[in-house]
Structure formats: structure tokens, C-alpha cells
Amino acid sequence: MTSLKSQLESLLLVSSKPMTVKKLAELLQAKSKEVQAELEALAEKYNQKDSGINLQINNDKVQLASSPENSELIKAYLKDDLTGELTDPAIETLTIIAYRQPISKAELEQIRGVNCSLILRNLMIRGLTEAEYSKDRGATVYSVTLEFLKYLGLNKNSDLPDFDKLNSHENLNKLLSQDNSQVEGKEDVVIKVEVKKE
């Protein structure tokens, strides 16, 4: 069974915003004191001079962040990342999320066949997607934001082209349910939605 520290670390890694100790305890079905103790251990692990990751704690809110010593490097990288156009993989990922939301990272990677961590992070930084932990599914799920719909001039994601057809595409459903290990036509499932942030 996965340790509390491991689960806590994973939650903090995928969260796009600071989380409270109370919320973490609730998600982990643990006592706040236990979570607090593990957070202190993680802070000791990460908040070292040669670590690129820090655990920030402020007013009962916690977040994993890059080391302040690397701030100039991160600013330069993010500036380029945020002002440039979306890459084809980012557009493809965003399109899948728009048509299949809420969708977990595992499902997304099953459809795309590659790790999507960095792309998801960039889409969240741009304000085009958001993440939320689903108790029912026991995983973080991703959806498009109102900002995304605003850029496309839509009121809801079901206004996307061929939404009904692609939202319940038979081959995609087979792929996600793993009923068929070789689903034909997988590459034809996605219609790319062009999104560019000014």
C-alpha cells in the first residue's frame, strides 16, 4: 500500500494551486496532525540548498514550487512558454480534454500514447485547463476553463464542432475501457481546435 508521504507528494505535485492541510487530510482520509508531520518531513527533504524544488507553507496552505534561487531561469522559461503559440501536442491534448472532460491524466495518456505531465502543466499555467481531485474516480481530472471557451467564443464545451459524435466516439470508448487492445482509427478521433493566447 502506498505511504501517506507518497500520496501527499503526488497530490502536491499535480495540484495547480496551493492546498490546505485540512483539504489534504480529507483527500487522504488521514488526521491533520499526521499530514502536518509528513509535510514537515517533506519540507526537510526538499528545502535544501541544492534542491530545485521547495515545499512552501503559508497560512495553512501548502504547495510544491521551484527553488527561489532558480527564479530568473524559471521566469525566462515561462515567459517564452506563455507567449508562444501552442504546439501541436498541446493543441491535441487540449482538444481531447475539451471533448472528453472530465478526464484523468491516465486516460489522456492512454489516448495519446505519451506522457502528458508537462503539457498539462503548461495548459494550466496558460489558464486553458484546470485540475480537480475526483473522489469517485480516485484521481485528479482535467477540464477546460471558461477562459478556453471565451477564446473560442463558445458558451459551453458541447458547442464544439461534432461534440456529440466525438464525446461518445465508439473507438475511443473501447480504448478507455480497454475492451479492445487494438482499436482501429484511434488517430482519427480528434478534431484539433486552434487556440492561441495573445
Q: What is the pLDDT of residue 191?
A: 44
pLDDT in tens, 157-166: 777 887 777 7
Topology of the domain comprising 84-188: Arc Repressor Mutant, subunit A (1.10.10)
Is the pLDDT at 172 greater than 60, yes or no?
no
Helices 105-112, 170-177: crossing angle, 10 deg rounding:
120
Domains of the chain, residue spans: 4-70, 84-188
Q: Do the domains 84-188 and 4-70 match in fold?
A: yes
**Dihedral angle, C-alpha 107, 118, 148, 140, nearest 10 °:** 40
Q: Do residues 120 and 112 make contact, with C-beta atoms less than 8 angstroms apart?
A: no
Q: Which of these CATH numbers, 3.30.2270.10, 3.40.640.10, 3.90.1150.10, 1.10.10.10, describes 4-70?
A: 1.10.10.10
Q: What share of the chain has pLDDT > 90, as a percent?
A: 19
Q: H-type helices in the chain, by residue range?
A: 4-14, 21-28, 32-46, 71-83, 88-100, 105-112, 117-125, 146-152, 163-167, 170-177
C-alpha cell at 195: 487556440
Place of cell 515567459: 79
Is pTM beyond 0.85? Reply is no
CB atoms closer than 10 angstroms to residue 173? 14
* CB count in 10 Å sphere of residue 136: 6
Q: Convert the pLDDT of each residue in 47-95 to its tens digit.
A: 888 888 888 888 788 988 888 888 888 777 766 655 567 788 888 898 8
